[in-house]
Amino acid sequence: MSAIPLARLATAVSSRDHSIGPADAPVTLLEYGDYECPYCGRAFPIVQEVRRRLGDQLRFVFRNFPLTQVHPHAERAAEAAEAAATQAKFWPMHDWLFRHQHSLDDDGLLSGAREIGLDVERVRRELAEGLHSVRVHADFSSGIRSGVNGTPTFYINGVRHDADYGMETLLAAIDASQRRDQS
Amino acid sequence: MPSALEGQQAPDFELTTGDGRRVALRDLRGSPVILAFYPADWSPVCSDQMALYNEVLPEFERYGARLLGISVDGKWCHRAFAENRRLRFPLLADFEPKGEVARRYRAYDEREGACARTLVVIDGAGVIRWHYVSPVDVNPGADGILAALGAIATEAHT
């Protein structure tokens, strides 16, 4: 039995994932996150800035990892983002959720859905039916098997990023992974 | 490098939980046991190892495994922490003599005077099957535990 657990992505990025940026970008930054987690909230503008700086060099992927025992709204918020995805608006909803971390009760989620132009009744119905809980749980499960150890957990080209997620640290780690991949 | 403790019989112990019960390893024979030694209660919630395991508990239970968190914090501290984080598994106080159980599992950091982040998976026969000391400041996650439980389960069925 290996003495070192593999801190690598157990489930490769696929078309099933929510991603933004070119599929053939040299860098894929993947986050396992929780919409109610304050640390993920703090990481949100950092990720945006990293994306802005790296442009076409970066593909960003987000997977759900709701810590439901400590964040009572995290599961529903994740399901709301998945509901938005079925209306081709995952990223607007994703951004809305991180900008409104204190309005994540059901009313808040629906007003977010309204604000970004979703079919609100459909979102309400899908949340009530728990239609997207299987997807959210599949993300969570893949995270566990990939060594997610808290939220947010980042992977750079499939390898867990174990340092902090300040912008300079992330950019340096991305740079280092590039040089490693080239050598 | 596998730890020298792998393949050895797990040292028995009896410790007090946050709610005042005594838990003895010998009483848990027959099912796998996970020991999660960790430095201290009250680390930031979203990156907290015990909060993570609380979420993963159903996956551990699928293997019939019991999870015990162990630190040198006292039982009152454990109680407050477990209530605050709504932990659904026991936290054991390796409090007096301080760190004695952790030492026997090579899970004690003398310099810090606290448990090192160490994971131990024990099979139903009481044998240590996996022993892993995480690098300083890296919460090890749950993937290694699940891999070890998976290996034990596979063996039991062949």
Mean pLDDT of B37-57: 92
Task: Look at residue A89 and give its three-state secondary structure.
Answer: coil
Q: Report the range of poorest mean pLDDT among A44-58, A139-153, B48-62, B131-145.
A: B131-145
User: Is B85's Cβ below 8 Å from some Cβ in A?
Assistant: yes
The secondary structure of chain B, three-state, reads: CCCCCCCCECCCCEEEECCCCEEEHHHHCCCCEEEEECCCCCCCHHHCHHHHHHHHHHHHHCCCCEEEEEECCCHHHHHHHHHHHCCCCCEEECECCECHHHHHCCCEECCCCEECCEEEEECCCCEEEEEEECCCCCCCCCHHHHHHHHHHHHHHCC
The end-to-end CA distance of chain A, in Å, is 30
User: Is B129's Cβ below 8 Å from some Cβ in A?
Assistant: yes
Q: What is the pLDDT of residues A108-121, one digit of tens each?
A: 999 999 999 999 99
Which residue, chain included where needed, has tokens 């062949």? B158
Find, in chain A, the residue whose alpha carbon is nearest to that of B120: A3
Burial of B83 (0-12, 13-18, 19+ CB in 10 A): exposed
Task: Measure CB to CB from residue B142 to each of A38, A144, A162 and give the nearest one.
Answer: A144
Cα separation, A177 vs B66, in Å, equals 38
* Residue-range domain boundaries for chain A: 20-178
Closest CA to A148 of B115, B29, B51: B51
Cα separation, B67 vs B119, in Å, equals 11
User: How far is Cα of residue A70 from the mean position of the Cα atoms in its chain?
Assistant: 18
Mutate to test the interface with A, among B55, B121, B131 (most CBs of A within 10 A): B55
Res. B45 pLDDT band, cuts 50 70 90: confident
**Contact indicator for A77, A62 with CB cutoff of 8 Å:** no
The end-to-end CA distance of chain B, in Å, is 26
Res. A176 pLDDT band, cuts 50 70 90: very high
Cis peptide before B58 (omega within 30 of 0): no
Handedness of CA A178, B138, B123, B50 (dihedral sign): negative
Give pLDDT, residue A7.
Answer: 84
Instruction: Let me know how long chain B is.
Output: 158
Q: Of the residues B1, B46, B86, B137, which is catalytic?
A: B46
Q: What is the pLDDT of residues B76-100, one digit of tens each?
A: 999 999 999 999 999 999 999 999 9
pTM of the model: 0.92
Handedness of CA B66, B71, B72, B73 (dihedral sign): negative
Give pLDDT, residue A39.
Answer: 96
Instruction: Answer left, alpha or beta for residue B64, where phi above 0 means left and psi between -120 and 50 means alpha.
Output: left
Largest CA distance in chain A: 53
Give pLDDT, residue A2.
Answer: 40
B77 is catalytic: no
Q: Give A143's contacts (C-beta < 8 A, 6+ positions apart).
A: A32, A63, A65, A153
Q: Which helix (H) or strand (E) holds A61?
A: strand A58-64
At the top level of CATH, which class does the domain B14-156 belong to? alpha beta
User: Is A2's Cβ below 8 Å from some Cβ in B?
Assistant: yes
- Chain B residues whose CB is inside 8 A of the A40 CB are 46
Q: Does residue A180 carry a pLDDT above 90? A: no
Domain A20-178, second-level architecture: 3-Layer(aba) Sandwich (3.40)
With a pLDDT cut of 70, the percent of chain B lying above it is 99
Q: Does residue A153 carry a pLDDT above 60? A: yes
Give pLDDT, residue A1.
Answer: 41
Side-chain half-sphere exposure of A22, counting CA atoms within 13 A: 9
In chain A, residues 80-119 whose CB comes closer than 8 Å to chain B: none
Closest CA to B139 of A128, A179, A149: A149
User: Is A183's Cβ below 8 Å from some Cβ in B?
Assistant: no
Give pLDDT, residue B22.
Answer: 97
User: Is A43's Cβ below 8 Å from some Cβ in B?
Assistant: no
- Chain A residues whose CB is inside 8 A of the B141 CB are 5, 7, 144, 147-149
Q: What is the pLDDT of residues B104-134, one digit of tens each?
A: 999 999 999 999 999 999 999 999 999 999 9
